[in-house]
Structure 1
Amino acid sequence: MEWLKDTFEIRTNGKGMLPITHEVESRLRAWGVREGMCFLYIAHASASLTISENYDPTARKDVEAYYEHAVPENQPWYQHTLEGPDDSPSHIRATLTQPSLSIPIDDGQLSLGTWQGIFLFEHRSRSHRRTIELRCLKVA
């Protein structure tokens, strides 16, 4: 077995789900991984990683709308608002999603379902540069 690692950066333009499957797959191809495990981690408290439908963009819009509805901005009970009205909601949304993902790799492909893709889920209103750690356990 071999342990491979890389870090890549994604620039966001505010709230939303950004597809990153291609960035992950291209690194796995460059490493020649045929079998193994892919691990992704984002070390940010106001963004997360998720797997969701990747075919119809309206599915992504529905997920984004759900989080806007479930954790709205400008609630009078929020105390953590130092960086603006999206401060507390972005942290709450990040706790409801995930900072890391583990995905098997079989026959040179991420073992995602037919309609699944990997997304960086930005919870802040303004743009950010988000760093994603990629680790891969490659089976020889």
Structure 2
Amino acid sequence: MWQQSVVTLRERSRGFHLVTDEIVAGVSGLRECRVGLLHLWLQHTSASLTVNENADPAVRRDFERFFNRLVPQGVAGFEHNDEGPDDLPAHFKASLLGCQLILPVTAGRLALGTWQGVYLGEHRDRGGARRVLATLQGER
């Protein structure tokens, strides 16, 4: 079984956001998949996907603080600022974290650990809705 769909994540403010439920809801064949892999590809260069803590929202706030210290806005010496001061820092953050995940599927569910969830790293002040190409490969 192969299935591919585009999941549109709603617009969010800058920061790290738990999007596991939106991803699961957007992949219609997931429940029928006995065993497989879900490949997620974020179709943007100024946001990222990663897996981390799904219970305590303080972790997501700390991620945002850490990455803002790691890649601050307003640093002199860079050229690319076509879309504003958050543009190039967003590209750097997206490259550090990446735009894709491969997640195991077992018995119609993502086989994430107890405290794991999928994060969208929104690195722009106004990034808009984000598209994720979701490719499910598995057995029914």
The answer to which of 88-97 and 103-112 deviates more is: 103-112
| Matching residue of 1:51 | 51
Indicate yes or no: 2:129 matched with 1:139.
Answer: no
The answer to which of 102-111 and 30-39 deviates more is: 30-39
Deviations 1:33-74 (A, max 9, x none): 221111100111101111110100001111111001100000
| Matching residue of 1:94 | 94
| Matching residue of 1:33 | 33
Which aligned segments of 4 or more residues in structure 1 are displaced greater than 6 angstroms?
none
- Does the 8 Å CA contact 2:12/2:129 hold for their aligned counterparts? no
Deviations 1:106-137 (A, max 9, x none): 12221111101001111101141211111100
* Percent of residue pairs identical: 35
Deviations 1:74-126 (A, max 9, x none): 00122111211101100000110111100111122211111010011111011
- Does the 8 Å CA contact 1:19/1:119 hold for their aligned counterparts? yes
**1:1-140 to 2 correspondence within 5 Å?**
2-26=1-25, 27=27, 31-140=31-140
How far is the alpha carbon of 1:31 from its aligned partner? 4.8
Aligned length: 139
How far is the alpha carbon of 1:30 from its aligned partner? 5.9
The answer to which of 73-82 and 93-102 deviates more is: 73-82
Structure 2 counterpart SS, 1:66: helix
Distance in 1 separating the partners of 2:103 and 2:30: 17
Decide whether aligned partners of structure 1 residues 37 and 133 sit closer, same or farther in structure 2, where only a CA change above 3 A counts.
same
Distance in 2 separating the partners of 1:28 and 1:100: 19
TM-score in terms of structure 1 length: 0.91
